[in-house]
Structure 1
Amino acid sequence: MASSGTTGKLEVDVEIKASPEQFHDMFTNKPHHVHHTCKDKIQGCDLLEGEWGKVGTIIHWNYVHDGKAKKAKEVIEAVDPDKNMITFRVIEGDLMEEYKTFLLTIQVSPKSEGTGSVVHWTLEYEKLHDGIDHPETMLQFVKDVSEDIDAHLTKPN
């Protein structure tokens, strides 16, 4: 659900088969492996500064969104291993052409029944002006990436 005005928050839940720890580990400690799971969406992830999985670390993503090659430089703003949660703040790249601020939080919880997990994505942002769309297509993008990562994590070796 998008908020009014220039600030907004979008959320989506994605059910996966992998454990919360497996999925969290992929985004926290091995984001440079994500492109192996969804080459059509993510071309690469490079460590620019710091250490994988640590607050303050700066990483650079090459990805395809809405059919266009894009880039994003993000800083890891928060990591909570107990909650399988990580927050990235976009500091440079294509999103910054339309948004003043853009945060992505990924929290993975065990499903209440049976096996598997629920990946909860939260996108919080401030648009540069009212004429810019809320980033609903980004929700579909993170949902698709989540499903691709899950398929990779749970495929038999």
Structure 2
Amino acid sequence: MAKKLEIEVEVSSPANKFWESIRDSTDLFPKIFPQQYQSIQVIEGDGKSVGSIRALHYAEGIPFVKFAKEKIEVADEANKLVSYSVIDGEILIYYKRFRPTLQVLSKGDGTVVKWSVEYEKLNEEVPDPELIQAMATQTFKELDAYLLKN
């Protein structure tokens, strides 16, 4: 049975700037988050449009995962929304399906980042992906701090 976790993170960066950094995460994230991402490579497509596939190699010290391959399922520039499915990697040892969605929305002078993940556990012993949810929250806050300085 599929389940869903959702979070909203308020950031101070303008929505357009935050969205562009998400769209440029292939190059940007390994540079500004070397403690999380060793590398992100585009395997198919441009890394931003539907059907694109990226390979993420996580840094030493990241628990449970060293590698993930993700395929973009939705790329909606107008609504600043992207959704992808994990198609390979350690996450699939625990989950039959793992599909994060991220949307960036303007809110007053700031921005709200909505992140959710639809997932299906391989068995009931598998925990909900709260660790991944916490990592996403931390990444959004750190990205905001980086964007405010640069």
Output the TM-score relative to the length of structure 2.
0.91
Q: How many residues align?
A: 149
Q: Name 2:102's counterpart in structure 1.
A: 106
1:84 aligns with 2:95: no
- Name the structure 1 match of 2:117: 123
Deviates more, 1:23-32 or 1:71-80: 23-32
1:60 to 51, 55, 62: 55
Unaligned runs of 5+ in 2: none
- How many angstroms apart in 2 are the aligned matches of 1:142 and 1:151? 14
Task: Give, in whole Å, the separation in 1 of the partners of 2:64 and 2:85.
Answer: 21
Farther off after superposition, 65-74 or 142-151? 65-74
2:8 counterpart residue number: 13
5+ unaligned residues in a row in structure 1: which ranges? 1-5
Distance 1:146 1:31 in 2: 15
Name the counterpart of 1:41: 36
For residue 48 of structure 1, give the secondary structure of its aligned residue in structure 2.
strand
- Aligned counterpart, 1:27: 22
Which whole-Å CA distance do the structure 2 matches of 1:108 and 1:7 have between them?
24
Instruction: Quote the RMSD (CA, aligned, Å).
Output: 1.6
**TM alignment of 1:131-142, pairs within 5 A:** 131-142=125-136
Q: 1:69 to 1:93 in 2, by over 3 A?
A: closer
**Partners of 1:41 and 1:145 within 8 A in 2:** no
Alpha-carbon distance in 2 for matches of 1:69, 1:9: 20
Identity of aligned residues (%): 30
Q: CA deviation at 1:134?
A: 0.6
Q: Which amino acid aligns with 1:130?
A: E
Q: Please state whether the residue corresponding to 1:26 is helix, strand or coil.
A: helix
Q: d(CA) in 2 for partners of 1:124 and 1:23?
A: 23
1:90-126 Cα deviation digits (max 9, x unpaired): 0000100010110010001011x3x110110011101
In 2, Cα distance between equivalents of 1:54 and 1:40: 27
TM-score between both structures, scaled by the size of structure 1: 0.87
Runs of 4+ more than 3 Å apart: 64-69
Query: 1:146 and 2:150 equivalent?
Result: no
* Displacement of 1:66: 5.1
Q: Could you say if the C-alpha distance between residues 67 and 126 of structure 1 is closer, same or farther in structure 2, counting changes exceeding 3 Å?
A: closer
Shift of the alpha carbon at 1:86? 0.4
How far did 1:17 drift? 1.4
